[in-house]
Amino acid sequence: MRIRVLGTAAGGGLPQWNCGCAECTAARHGGHARSQDCLAVSGDGRAWYLVNASPDLRTQLLAAPELAPAPGTRDTPLRGVLLTSGELDHTLGLLTLREASGLTVHATAPVRHALHHAFPVGPLLAAYTGADRTGAANTGADWHTVTPGKPVELEGGLRAEAFALGGKRPRYAAHLPDHGDWVTGYRFTEDGTGACAVYAPGLAEWTPALDGAVAGADVVLLDGTFATAEELAERTGGARRSPGMGHLAVQDSLPHLARRPGPRYLYTHLNNTNPLAGRTPPEVTAAGAEVARDGLLIELP
């Protein structure tokens, strides 16, 4: 299994365009920018799948040699996208893929509904994806409903199983019925070797479902949005704590890592206010964890 970490920042990226906080200022001057959360994974190194589609997707794809078209062709090894939520920073990049000759999108039922009604990415893509140069033979994107606990077989000997992580809806979908399963993680398993990776960039609390997903995994990429639960209030003067925003702070997830040794743990989806975006504190290293970086390539035997 091969994993390319395309982006590691939360919505807005680092630096965020309208923010002059200490971390954004340091990123502007120090050159350690981060693009928005996105992952590419493959079981055989030939068929690749995105997990989320960030607003920075075009730049991210151009920086990933595995996802480049072969010389003389107009195609890529990209086979589809699996969404962990319906948030804008996880879905806006779908429109970047409108030139694709074919596209499969995997999402839970409420996310899929939201992307066809409240934020109609599905109908928008249908006018482009799969059409020839005259606009004929249009098939649109192929949408598949993801059900937590039910594995999905992907090309290249890869199996994906979603697990539920919460019911936090995107703001644009606040008026839609609440059917749960708005936020999921994925456990990827490679058929030949049994290599296993877990991706959970949105995590309001450490759940039994996450415990089950982490068990036996080789690498786990976790929600690192905020370093502490009070981070946003302390740095921006707001009143919101991280759990209320759907994100378990790194400080509060570290004890769980210590009780579950074995996998390689990496934090991703870092908010622009998060000091971990620029430096890794000793307590993170002591827990056997790292902070993921844009472009990181992980290869599992």
pLDDT in tens, 91-110: 999 999 998 888 899 999 99
3-class state of residue 90 by DSSP? helix
- Give the mean model confidence (pLDDT) for residues 183-197: 97
Q: pLDDT tens digits, residue range 48-93?
A: 999 999 999 999 999 999 999 988 888 889 999 999 999 999 999 9
- Weakest-pLDDT range from 30-34, 106-110, 136-140, 282-286: 136-140
Length of the chain: 301
Residue 253's contacts (CB-CB under 8 Å, 6 or more residues apart) are 203, 206, 222, 223
Q: What total of structural domains would you count in the chain? A: 1
Residue 135 is predicted with a pLDDT of: 45
Specify the pLDDT at position 158: 98
**Segment 13-22 mean pLDDT:** 93
Task: Write b or e for each residue in 140-150: b if 16 or more Cβ atoms lie within 10 A of its Cβ, otherwise e.
Answer: bbebeebebee
The widest CA-to-CA distance across the chain, in whole angstroms, is 58
147 is in which domain, residue-wise?
2-299
Cβ 92 vs Cβ 119: under 8 Å = no
Asked if the model's pLDDT at residue 10 lies above 90, the reply is yes
Task: Tell me the one-letter amino acid at 107.
Answer: A
Q: Is 70 helix (H, G, I), strand (E, B) or coil?
A: coil
Q: Which residues pair with 185 in a beta bridge?
A: 163
pTM: 0.94
pLDDT at 140: 61
Residue of 161, 225, 250, 155 whose CA lies nearest to 197: 161
Q: Are 217 and 197 in contact (CB under 8 A)?
A: yes
Q: Compare 5 and 177 and report the one with higher pLDDT.
A: 5
For 222-247, what is each residue's pLDDT tens digit? 999 999 998 877 776 665 777 778 89
Residue appearing with tokens 């806006």? 92
Q: In the prediction, which pLDDT does 132 show?
A: 47
Q: What is the CATH number of the domain that holds 109?
A: 3.60.15.10
Rounded Cα distance between 298 and 34, Å, is 18
Mean pLDDT for the chain?
Answer: 92
Query: Nearest-CA neighbor of 26 among 285, 235, 230?
Result: 235
Q: Which residue has the higher pLDDT, 136 or 241?
A: 241
Give 133 or 226, the one with higher predicted confidence. 226
Number of CB atoms found within 10 A of residue 29's CB = 9
Higher pLDDT, 281 or 133: 281
Mean pLDDT, rounded, for 166-172? 93
133 pLDDT above the threshold of 60 = no
Helices (H), 3-108: 22-30, 57-62, 88-91
pLDDT at 39: 98
Kind and range of the H or E run holding 269: none
What tokens does 194 get? Answer: 């049994």
**Cα separation of 221 and 207, whole Å?**
15
Rounded CA-CA distance 278/75 in Å is 36
Residue 126 has a pLDDT of: 87
What is the C-alpha separation between 43 and 108, in angstroms, rounded?
A: 22
pLDDT > 70: what percent of the chain? 95
- pLDDT value at 169 more than 60: yes
